[in-house]
Structure 1
Amino acid sequence: MAGKLSHDQNFKNLIVDYPSEALEFFAPEEAPRPGDEVRIVPVREEQLQAKLSGRYRRLDVPLLAEWTDGRREAVLFAVEEESDPLRFSPLRLIHYCTDLAELFGTRRVVPVVVFLRPGAVRGPLTIGTERRDYLSFDYLVCALGDMPARDWLNSNNLVARVNLPNMRLPAGGRLEAYASAVRGLLDLEQDPNRLEKYIDFIDIYADLSDNERRSYREQHPEESGMIVGLNQRAREEGRQEGRVEGERAVLVRMLRRRFGALPPVVDRRLGGASVTDLENWADNVLDAGTLDEVFHPR
């Protein structure tokens, strides 16, 4: 499976893949309620870069929640993951939130900070003098490292379950948290690609020792077998993708030598082709009088 990514990218993937569950877990005070007809979409980085230009600050991913039933006005959630509390800057977050408010023409912005380690920095931040405060800024805090894992072992929220290894664990509790995280993922997610991705996520943050992994396999043979199956599927897909890429590269070289530069439509066609298609087209190259005849032989 994939190697370790940055914490920022791990959590960005999680929020984009599960926006409703992320808000429910990270920002329960402001998240949509069960039964709300709401659309939650990530704000694309390209849009932020284009609109904010030099003021663009890449934190994590803002989410726009729009209530289609009209119960509430739209809300922007500015979610930032912080792995090291000492690096967190509420001043930077203020700038980011005001930029978002200006960009979208709204004051309905909810700052959310997810602290991965213990020692969360809580608000509010006030700016002013001894006479009075001129600016007060507060934000929601999800302090993963301070949350007791036992409170979430049976949660139906997938984002909470995969984050069990990041929560406060009792001595010797890491294996139980890992097992509950894996079981929750397997129960709540059916897509094999996401299962593979978030087994990786759990593995990264659980960081089990060899002895703990051995104990897990002995105590949870069914789940262990499913994980092995996901690993085998990932390896097979990797081999298949490597074969496709190899066949495609050979065919591109053959086509360029025979017909010169390739038009974009051919590049797109090759990009979506199977190994069988690529092999058949390669067989046609020598006899084809035109590029079109490679794909449509007479």
Structure 2
Amino acid sequence: MDEHDTSYKLLFAHDRMVRDLLAGFLPPTWLTRLDLHSLQKLHDGHVSDDLRGRHGDAVWRLCRREDRRPLYLLLEFQSSVDPFMALRVLVYTGLLHQDLARRGALGTGRRLPAVLPVVLYNGERRWRASTRLGPLIETPPPDLEDFQPEQRFLLIDEGACDLDLLGHDSNLVAALFRLEHHRSSDEVATVLARLIKWLAGPELASLRRAFLTLLHRRLPRWFPGEVFPDFQDMQEAYEMISNRFEEWKERQRLVGLEQGVARGMAQGRLEGERALVARQIQRRFGELPAHLNLRLQSASEEELATWADRILDARSLDDLFT
């Protein structure tokens, strides 16, 4: 189990996080039909061993507004793209239905309840795998299409969200996405300041600890080379990051200067090699035609070295540049 799964399981074991996920990232028309305050997490005693063994993330139950019938929410946390995610979701859904039927927890008429599978993806690359099972199955012979399984899941790709629109309305999941995909240390501090305010109060102590666990694991990765003390609360983390702003900015500025100097030196060497090769060609063959001069000015270091080696043996410009 990687640190992404562990951290997210701690966070999304809280109904506030699941409620903010649904409220912030489901289509509005769906939200009008769901009672988000009826969320109830299914614990180990309500989930089969098979489902726990294959799907170890989170299963929640909530009610529909109009008739109070249950809807089951399958949450899956991914930090890498799985091309067969739709197949895994089909298995998880089947295991959940099987478990509910075995326990006699079906609804009116012993019908299987509706399930909403949600995959929360946190990877660096954008998700490109299919969110439906159909495209993963070979085209069946004619008239057998209706016998093929089908499954779809709702993908929430954190990195594809517009960060500038997130984290301003006390939605904790939006704030989490901004932390995970921050663009500067200043942005980390800004989000932490909001979280300190939004997570105040003894009733949110467990959720604060879950965010602290995430920070302990993420900060060394976000700021490589930095040594972070064992801070005990989010206020300490915020003050530590804020106090290091100027130091980090100066370090980034110096790194940028060094990289700029290195690029300038490399460019200067390349320009010098071009000038040298151009003089050698002119002494041997005279003035270059415009199209060959343009090619020379855009040549790479490897091309310049090749032409310099050929100048003594080439009988014409065609020999040289071919």
What's the TM-score once normalised by structure 1's chain length? Answer: 0.59
> Identity percentage over the alignment?
17
Following TM superposition, by how much is the alpha carbon of 1:188 offset from its aligned partner in structure 2, in angstroms?
1.3
Matched residues in 2 for 1:228 and 1:110: separation? 40
SS of residue matched to 2:54? coil
1:84 to 80, 83, 92: 80
Deviation per residue, 1:217-276 (Å, 9 max, x gap): xxxxxx8557569xxxxxxxxxxxxxxxxxxxxxxxxxxxxxxxxxxxxxxxxxxxxxxx
Match of 1:124 in 2: 132
Matched, 1:199 2:195: no
Matched, 1:73 2:69: yes
Structure 1 segment 1-298 matched on structure 2, within 5 A: 6-17=3-14, 18-28=17-27, 32-33=31-32, 36=35, 38-49=37-48, 52=50, 56-67=53-64, 70-86=66-82, 89-104=85-100, 105=106, 106-117=112-123, 118-120=125-127, 121-126=129-134, 127=137, 128-129=139-140, 131=142, 132=145, 134-167=148-181, 173-190=183-200, 191-202=204-215, 204-205=217-218, 207-209=221-223, 227=238
Q: Is the 8 A contact 2:11 2:210 kept in 1?
A: no
Moved more, 138-147 or 114-123: 114-123
Following TM superposition, by how much is the alpha carbon of 1:99 offset from its aligned partner in structure 2, in angstroms?
1.5
One-letter code of the match for 2:212? I
**Change in CA separation of 1:35 and 1:141 when aligned onto 2, cut-off 3 Å:** closer
Matched residues in 1 for 2:57 and 2:29: separation? 18
SS of residue matched to 2:75? strand
Q: Is the 8 A contact 2:5 2:77 kept in 1?
A: yes
Matched residues in 2 for 1:138 and 1:29: separation? 19
**Change in CA separation of 1:209 and 1:75 when aligned onto 2, cut-off 3 Å:** same
Q: Is the 8 A contact 2:89 2:153 kept in 1?
A: no
One-letter code of the match for 2:56? L
Moved more, 37-46 or 137-146: 37-46
Matched residues in 1 for 2:80 and 2:167: separation? 25
Unaligned residue ranges in structure 2 (runs of 5+):
101-105, 107-111, 229-233, 241-322
**Change in CA separation of 1:9 and 1:209 when aligned onto 2, cut-off 3 Å:** closer
Q: Is the 8 A contact 2:74 2:116 kept in 1?
A: yes
Following TM superposition, by how much is the alpha carbon of 1:137 offset from its aligned partner in structure 2, in angstroms?
1.6
Matched residues in 2 for 1:58 and 1:35: separation? 24
Matched residues in 1 for 2:83 and 2:75: separation? 16
Following TM superposition, by how much is the alpha carbon of 1:25 offset from its aligned partner in structure 2, in angstroms?
3.7
Q: Is the 8 A contact 2:10 2:210 kept in 1?
A: no
Q: Is the 8 A contact 1:19 1:41 kept in 2?
A: no
Matched residues in 2 for 1:13 and 1:26: separation? 20
* Cα RMSD after superposing both structures: 3.5
Q: Is the 8 A contact 2:11 2:207 kept in 1?
A: no
Residues paired across the two proteins, number: 211
Matched residues in 1 for 2:91 and 2:141: separation? 24
Following TM superposition, by how much is the alpha carbon of 1:88 offset from its aligned partner in structure 2, in angstroms?
5.3
One-letter code of the match for 1:82? Q
SS of residue matched to 2:149? strand
Moved more, 158-167 or 108-117: 158-167
Deviation per residue, 1:88-128 (Å, 9 max, x gap): 53212101111112323324001111111133233222135
